[in-house]
Amino acid sequence: MLFSDDENMIEIAPDAFLLKGFLLGNSKVLLQSLNNIFSLSPLRNMETPGGYRMSVAMSNCGEWGWVTDKTGYRYTNSDPVTNKPWQPMPGIFRQLAQDAAERAGFLGFEPDACLINRYAVGAKMSLHQDKDEANFSQPIVSFSLGLPCIFDFGGAIREAPKIALTLEHGDVLVWGGKSRLNYHGVRTIKAGEHPLLGPYRFNLTFRRSQK
Ligand code: MD3
Ligand code: FE
């Protein structure tokens, strides 16, 4: 089924949209590009400033990549594992992210960073804000592939009530404006097997990290 009309788009909060099944039809080409990126900038479990190893394995593509280590969270323009630039953002990634942003009403999205998260069964991402970017004027676009997850979407403060959403293979989220700094997290991934991606969930997050 191809994404065709606005019946597949749900506004879950002010300026936050879920585009159900937007990526279906592009799964295989996305997976090929991912495997190419991982062969050159391998997935790794980074260390938090607090000294914990993240359960989510990460890589990046695009001019800038998000990293964390003992010294803190930041964007770098080279991969600290290989000391080479991050791999270029594949044209199909950029095009789909821009199309999704536009569908949600955000024109002129120019991502310079794509963080790639791989969740094995048992991995999770605790409640946090995305605030390491120098530019909050552009939205964030996220692609979900593989196993489903329960995503918690909160408010501007940690204590605000949260809504739980199931994100499935092919779904896209677009967040900007009033929701850009909302707290969010991913609950522990349950056991399963995706026909294309195996026992994993992948999430690609497109951002404008620099001015
Ligand atoms: C809501 N990733 O990489 S993507 C992250 O599914 C991250 O891997 C999650 O949170 C994942 O930082 C969620 C959806 C998302 C991304 C950014 C947001 C939702 C957001 C920023 C503000 C509000
Ligand atoms: Fe986040």
Tell me what pLDDT residue 7 has: 75
Whether the model clears a pTM of 0.85, i.e. scores above it, the answer is yes
Tell me what pLDDT residue 1 has: 56
pLDDT tens-place string over residues 125-155: 999 999 999 989 999 999 999 999 999 999 9
Q: Locate tokens 């600290």: which residue?
A: 80
CA-closest candidate to residue 201, choices 183, 188, 186, 189:
189
Cα distance between residue 100 and residue 102, in whole Å = 5
Q: Which of 66, 130, 180, 207 to mutate to test the pocket of ligand 1 (most atoms within 8 A of CB)?
A: 130
* Centre of ligand 1 from the C-alpha of residue 186, in Å: 8
Our answer on whether the CB atom of 57 is closer than 6 Å to any ligand 1 atom is: no
